[in-house]
Structure 1
Amino acid sequence: MMIHPVTPWTATVQSDIASSKPIFELMLHAYTLTLFNTGDSLWLVVSWPKGGRIAFRLAFGMNSDFEKITVSKAIDEVLVTAATRLGYYRIIISLPESEEAVFRYTTSFQGKFPLLIPFWPRDIVPLTENGRIENTAGTIHTHQVGARSGELYFSMTKPAVGSVYYFQNLTAMSPYCQATEVSLRETVGGSWPELGFQFPVNAEKPLPSETEYIISDAFVLLTQETPEKETEVATQYLSYLSTIYTLLPRPEPLTHDWIATSKRVLDDLYTNKGCWTQTNGVPYLNAYVGDYKTPSEIMVQLAVLLPLQEYLTWSGDTHPLLDDLECGLGVFYDDRIKSIVRWHPALEDDLDKSEEQKREMVMDSWYLHHPLLNLSRLALRGDNTAKRLFLDSVDYAIKVAKHFDYDWPVFYKMTTLEVLKAETAPGKGGEKDVPGSYAHIMLMAWKLTGEKRFIREAKKALESLDGLVFDIFYQANNTAFAAAALVEMYKETGEPKYLGLSYRCLAGVFKNCQIWDCDYGYGKSFPYFFAVFPLNDAPYTAAYEELEVFAALHHYLEASSRIEILPALRILIPEFIKYAIGRLACYFPPLLTVDMISEKVKTGEIQRDLWIPLEDIHDGWEKSGTVGQEVYGAGLAFALVPRQYFKIPELDAIVFVDYPITNFRRGKNSATFLLAGSEVLKAELRLLGLPGNRLPSIQIAQKVKSTYHPAKEKAPGQFELSGTGMVRITWK
């Protein structure tokens, strides 16, 4: 009986390989890699130490057989050249230096004449010794969705073999996409037993001849382990991703003057009338530039107020914008239900009911907790208005949690708690990361009051995350903040399960990243590398959610600074932050090419010279800014500056570091800080605002083991550092 139906391109693979002679063999740790030519395909068959095989299709002949195959061997690398009637192939099989069993195959193709390619099979097929491919079985833990990373993580369970983490370096295919106007979305995945990369076909625009294009650049990590528990899936996924990440070709991160940008944003935000609506004599920020139809929302006010307060504390300045934002917060508290509400009460009649949540007293489950979290963060910074609003509302949040038994729907009525929409999609359940968000605000309430009941509430909510790994993720920023809160729960309780839950949250965050550069179409104008998508199925990356993930991951490393966490996170989190520093600036329209910005906007208007970010960045063949120019994302610069720039008044200088740091301390003639990354990768430090003649008197050194060593100076005032370790700045 056939368990898994297969296509003709898979049905004969086992017998084709069995009837073919091996061309060469290569040993990788305890694995054997064997090359076969089966006519229309070149296969690299991996044999596991204890039995079991999986085949990787290195090249596909497209209705033509391979001939004239040559093999050239070097240390840790094999070059295979082959030809068909249609074109020429060049395949490099390499064994990157790694403690894990990793191999890479890069395949290039050059057509003999212009070609339309209407079909291409996937490149991974599990094999058996004597049975049939369609009767094998396995578990796909995760795969590419939309334009996210071209990754696939699966385990082969029948026969019991082990697991594979597969990563396509999609950046390498950008020239092909540019030439044929195709996209790399949804190219890595499949269903058992037909898995892997399905080369994006060009059925309409032919591939030019006489030009060589990379058509696959795959990194494959092999393991005999098969994860069984949720935390094992998460930790192994993060570990394997970090291993491959260190081997990837990576673009040079962009640099940006965020201090100058923060001043531009502050000026434009305060003076541009399209950012504001006035109600009863009080100014409120619009959600989008020129959006006067949608009533004012509490989330929008707080999304700018919190980072603005952080920035003004850093700069030592004052600004009337802070008072304008704070003076209108109290109106969002509804005394009837004893809680803050989403919409300005005086404007509820203006809700147009065009969306499910644009109705009176309708609450999106995550949306209640997000403003409460920002209120609590402000309260911990000494804001009494925020503290009052938070503590006056927190019991309503507890009432809602208990009513839904810590399993929140998507939409409910705030007055009656009637469920208006139970699931995100049929059979998918509600917003599954909300227990983490709720636990986070309970933890913040405990910090503000010392009342243990809040810790008990957090524990009850977190039980709802059992049985989930990647499905915890609903909204990127909430999931990332929940991860940081879970570390704090671990420190408070000493229970390892909370640390494991934090890994599950972060696995969901990194699974929703785009670790490749979309260097085709409009994508040539935006640095996509290591962007994060706001939702599981979102078709675009979004400015505000990226900012909040950036802030949450900073908080995660701060919260975990004195505990041992998964080493993979010391690689992935700092690298996300490094690339975010340059990427986030490109959400501002003045830094984008005019042609990539959409002429049609869903909400409000786009002012291309205004330093307010676009909400949405799409795939390279789609224009961006279709949702609108989001005022609530204007806190980008305000949040970034205090986390990456550090003042040294004694020098009248500023230190910029492109990695997350902790424990920045100043002395009379020195300053020290701790880099929170890994020694595997590098960070950069820049001294800003110093005249050139002062630079020779300043020394930058980093502690290696127990001794400080001078940092490598790449250019005047610019230094390369190891990703981890204590750094010392001294001056005379």
Structure 2
Amino acid sequence: MIKAISPWLLNANAALMHYDLPVILKKEQNGYHFSIINQGDALWLIVAWPLGNTIAFRLAYSPGDQLNIKKANISGRNIKVEIGSLIGAQHVELKLPEQEGSPLHWTTTLVPAAPLLLPYWPRDIAPLGAKRSDVLALGDIRVNQVGTRCGQLYFHVTRPEAGAVFYFQNLTSLSDYNQDTETSAGNTVGGEWPEIGFALPPTTKQKPLQQGKSYVISDAYVMLSAEIPPDEPAMIRQYLDMLAGIYLALPKPDTHYQNWPEILQKGLYDLQDSPGCWSQLGGNHYFNAYVSDYDTPPEIMVQLAVLLPLLDYVEWHNVELDVMKKIKEGLPAFYNEKYGTIMRWHPKAADRLQGEEEHKKPLVMDSWYLQHPLLNLSRMALKGDTEAKKLFLDSLEFAIKVARHFDYQWPVFYKMDTLEIVKAETQPGAGGEKDVPGLYAHVLLQAWELTGEKRYLAEAEKAALKLKGLGFKMFYQANNTAFSAGALLRLFKITKKQIYLELSYLALANVFVNTQLWDCNYGYGKNFPTFFALFPLSDAPYTAVYEEQEVFCAFHDYLHHAEGLDIAPSVRLLLAEYIRFLVERAVYYYPTMLPKEMLSDEVKTGEVDHNLWIALEDLHDGWEKSGAVGQEVYGAGNAFGILPRHYMQVEEAGFMIYTDYPTYGFSPTKHRPATFRLAGDSRMICRLMIVKSGHAKLPEITVTTGGKTQLKGKHAEGGDLEFELPGNAEVRIDWR
């Protein structure tokens, strides 16, 4: 079947493949041939693969015009072209790849000649195919932008065979365009083959570009490969390596130190003392899912989602919290003797459910909602909690029965009593909760570790293998996909079977596909950072605190289990960088950090108290208000997860060591020097802080990396010390 194409692509293909258009500049680099050609109303970069197949990227455009090339020069890898056009002056700066594995990059700016509306803009990639051929290339799009996620397009050119392309539009650079036209950068990169690439969002609100103001209208990075991956593992590795290659070249926003000890205390106070966070039932206290949500019965997932981060904190700080005792006392009430398992809803209040949503019925289970509490109970059990161990092991056979009944491929909702499917698929033809096999494998690995019974390990392997072949469609919910990655890495370590390492990369790639590698600096987005934010579901329109906090913890665990293993450098880099940016961004989920005018006037569940240090569930695109879902009590683990993982206590000397990268090998010590190793990649820079834990001045501090390089710090606010150092470094800190 011949695919229909637009006049714009038909015209471009005919002109570029058949007409003898003037070649402005030509250069060969790393086996690829690059030519810049003026088609008339468009300036194109033609790239020829080593085998001759060609693809074109549009650098500049002026509809129905004849572009006037005023100046063009080449200096090494750098090419600059100045263009006159009816819509205004355009300037293109192009950098060819420095070496194999580094990206091609261009930036195009426009200075409008008049107040300018752009109701339509064609996509900027033309897969031309073989030279002098009328037949456009055939290809497969593997990843494209969804909503306000990365402006990414990963595809393979399959006929004539050429290779792979990773196209990335740096949407941060388009903020002035989006601000002045009141448009969103969402869904701007994608298309249907062969009409693919980036298109400026149409100016439908009669908000023009300003005459005489300079706007970036394209800031593109392109990774090229002559390899079409032969199988899924090779495709996933190629995607991760290409993403990391672009990430290294991408300008990244500055990060800032957030005072997490202080933030935690504010959040702990409000979590314990705010009436809106609590309900009482059967003589026990339970967390509400959302602030002032008294209609929804207590859920076991909510209780454990807060309890586990609190457990991390009390182990780090060596304190006791009464709030933890309250929650633990109420957990046994969720166990149902009849079915031999914990239930999602508190059995004594399940009849309050009105069924306004499919899953809000007493015996309806959302597939991951059974696995997740079991995972958290197993974590408590492995820390010596006997009540948690009993609840976990008593529920385990039911979980295994469910897994086998569905052949390790879970629907969205099912009934607990009959296992009847209530909702099979997320969307027609899309399948159910595809990452639950990995989450279930994690649960069974915990059971194996707790009991030593090999049947649990075998069960984990059966489930894990169901993830093969899912490609970039594995992701149902971010935290579950991240937990799956860790479970698969553990399976690799235990069994030495390469398939599990490859499947762990598959899970991680699915997480990174759903990130936002750009800063939304328009509209309300000016009030909070969004770089490297993560979306909770594959189609979610907002980022969410609970899933981000759990992915953050899962990534820490993945790096811990990967210590000493030869894992992909791209994986080490991307995991550490997500963590670094989350440690800064997470504080902006608290409504206290945001202006009131950007909070939603209507709230779906409960209410939002701007003065309460309980995180909002949802942060949206810059033109949409946030907090519309509610203030998420079960996301209160945010600070309690961050503090123990990023602050190392040196009690005798009166300070803590903070890093925004994960660390290995530090244990609480009163002896000098303190030593540890940073995770991540040596090509990236992270922050280290010496943070006062009392009122006394800091002692004289010496920070050394690699056993010889002494770093110079700078004084920060409050008398703390700040250092910058590379990732993957051995660090020694001494004081006197």
Query: What TM-score comes out, normalization by structure 2 length?
Result: 0.97
Contact kept? 1:531, 1:580, Cα under 8 Å = yes
Per the TM alignment, residue 68 of structure 1 is displaced from its structure 2 partner at its CA by 3.9
CA distance in 1, matches of 2:694, 2:616: 36
Cross-structure match for 1:297 = 299
Cross-structure match for 2:441 = 439
Cross-structure match for 1:619 = 621
What letter corresponds to residue 317 of structure 2 in structure 1? Answer: S
CA deviation vs aligned residue, 1:366-425 (integer Å, no higher than 9, x gap):
111011111111111222221111111111100000111111111100011111111111
Cross-structure match for 2:267 = 265
Cross-structure match for 1:12 = 11
Structure 1 range deviating more: 280-289 or 124-133:
124-133
CA deviation vs aligned residue, 1:264-315 (integer Å, no higher than 9, x gap):
1111111111111111221111000011111110011001111011111111
Cross-structure match for 2:253 = 251
Per the TM alignment, residue 168 of structure 1 is displaced from its structure 2 partner at its CA by 0.6
SS at match of 2:338: coil
Alignment of 1:389-538 (within 5 A): 389-538=391-540
Q: Aligned-residue CA RMSD in angstroms?
A: 1.5
CA distance in 1, matches of 2:363, 2:412: 14
Is 1:561 the counterpart of 2:560 in the alignment? no
Is 1:723 the counterpart of 2:727 in the alignment? yes
CA distance in 2, matches of 1:618, 1:454: 41
Per the TM alignment, residue 62 of structure 1 is displaced from its structure 2 partner at its CA by 2.1
Alignment of 1:175-186 (within 5 A): 175-186=176-187
Is 1:701 the counterpart of 2:700 in the alignment? no
What letter corresponds to residue 30 of structure 1 in structure 2? Answer: G
Cross-structure match for 2:546 = 544
Q: How many residues align?
A: 728
Find the partner of 1:655 among 648, 654, 657.
657
Cross-structure match for 2:116 = 115
Contact kept? 2:654, 2:694, Cα under 8 Å = no
Per the TM alignment, residue 676 of structure 1 is displaced from its structure 2 partner at its CA by 1.3
5+ long unaligned stretches in structure 1 = none
Cross-structure match for 1:75 = 76
Structure 1 range deviating more: 114-123 or 313-322:
313-322
- Alpha carbons of structure 1 residues 522 and 702: separation in structure 2 relative to 1, 3 Å: same
Contact kept? 1:660, 1:675, Cα under 8 Å = yes
CA deviation vs aligned residue, 1:155-183 (integer Å, no higher than 9, x gap):
10100011111111100000110000000
Per the TM alignment, residue 351 of structure 1 is displaced from its structure 2 partner at its CA by 0.3
Per the TM alignment, residue 149 of structure 1 is displaced from its structure 2 partner at its CA by 0.4
Find the partner of 1:241 among 237, 240, 243.
243
CA deviation vs aligned residue, 1:555-574 (integer Å, no higher than 9, x gap):
00001112110100111111
CA distance in 1, matches of 2:264, 2:131: 65
CA deviation vs aligned residue, 1:485-524 (integer Å, no higher than 9, x gap):
1111101000011000000000000000000000000000
CA distance in 2, matches of 1:678, 1:361: 48
CA deviation vs aligned residue, 1:411-448 (integer Å, no higher than 9, x gap):
10001111111111111111110100000000000111
CA distance in 2, matches of 1:436, 1:631: 26
Alignment of 1:259-408 (within 5 A): 259-408=261-410
What letter corresponds to residue 410 of structure 2 in structure 1? Answer: W
CA distance in 2, matches of 1:98, 1:685: 32
5+ long unaligned stretches in structure 2 = none
Alignment of 1:565-580 (within 5 A): 565-580=567-582
CA distance in 2, matches of 1:538, 1:452: 38
CA distance in 2, matches of 1:626, 1:134: 49
Structure 1 range deviating more: 462-471 or 391-400:
462-471
SS at match of 2:708: strand
SS at match of 1:442: helix
- Alpha carbons of structure 1 residues 237 and 616: separation in structure 2 relative to 1, 3 Å: same
Is 1:669 the counterpart of 2:672 in the alignment? yes
CA distance in 2, matches of 1:26, 1:724: 37
CA deviation vs aligned residue, 1:464-485 (integer Å, no higher than 9, x gap):
1111121111110000011011
Contact kept? 1:134, 1:193, Cα under 8 Å = no
Cross-structure match for 1:194 = 195
Cross-structure match for 1:585 = 587
Cross-structure match for 1:686 = 689
Contact kept? 1:469, 1:505, Cα under 8 Å = no
Per the TM alignment, residue 95 of structure 1 is displaced from its structure 2 partner at its CA by 2.9
SS at match of 1:490: helix
Cross-structure match for 1:3 = 2
CA distance in 1, matches of 2:554, 2:579: 10
- Alpha carbons of structure 1 residues 673 and 444: separation in structure 2 relative to 1, 3 Å: same
CA deviation vs aligned residue, 1:212-233 (integer Å, no higher than 9, x gap):
1000000011110111211111
CA distance in 1, matches of 2:391, 2:134: 61
Contact kept? 1:139, 1:155, Cα under 8 Å = yes
What letter corresponds to residue 727 of structure 1 in structure 2? Answer: V
Contact kept? 2:155, 2:164, Cα under 8 Å = yes
Contact kept? 2:169, 2:198, Cα under 8 Å = yes
Contact kept? 2:652, 2:670, Cα under 8 Å = no
CA distance in 2, matches of 1:632, 1:614: 10
Contact kept? 2:67, 2:85, Cα under 8 Å = yes
Contact kept? 2:103, 2:249, Cα under 8 Å = no
- Alpha carbons of structure 1 residues 199 and 212: separation in structure 2 relative to 1, 3 Å: same
Per the TM alignment, residue 463 of structure 1 is displaced from its structure 2 partner at its CA by 1.7
Per the TM alignment, residue 133 of structure 1 is displaced from its structure 2 partner at its CA by 5.7
SS at match of 1:386: helix
- Alpha carbons of structure 1 residues 692 and 470: separation in structure 2 relative to 1, 3 Å: same
Query: What TM-score comes out, normalization by structure 1 length?
Result: 0.97
CA distance in 1, matches of 2:133, 2:622: 41
Structure 1 range deviating more: 512-521 or 230-239:
230-239
Structure 1 range deviating more: 717-726 or 455-464:
717-726
Per the TM alignment, residue 27 of structure 1 is displaced from its structure 2 partner at its CA by 2.3
SS at match of 1:650: helix
- Alpha carbons of structure 1 residues 454 and 57: separation in structure 2 relative to 1, 3 Å: same
Per the TM alignment, residue 246 of structure 1 is displaced from its structure 2 partner at its CA by 0.8
Is 1:713 the counterpart of 2:717 in the alignment? no
What letter corresponds to residue 147 of structure 1 in structure 2? Answer: T
CA deviation vs aligned residue, 1:185-238 (integer Å, no higher than 9, x gap):
011111111111111111321111110100000001111011121111111101
Contact kept? 2:130, 2:137, Cα under 8 Å = no
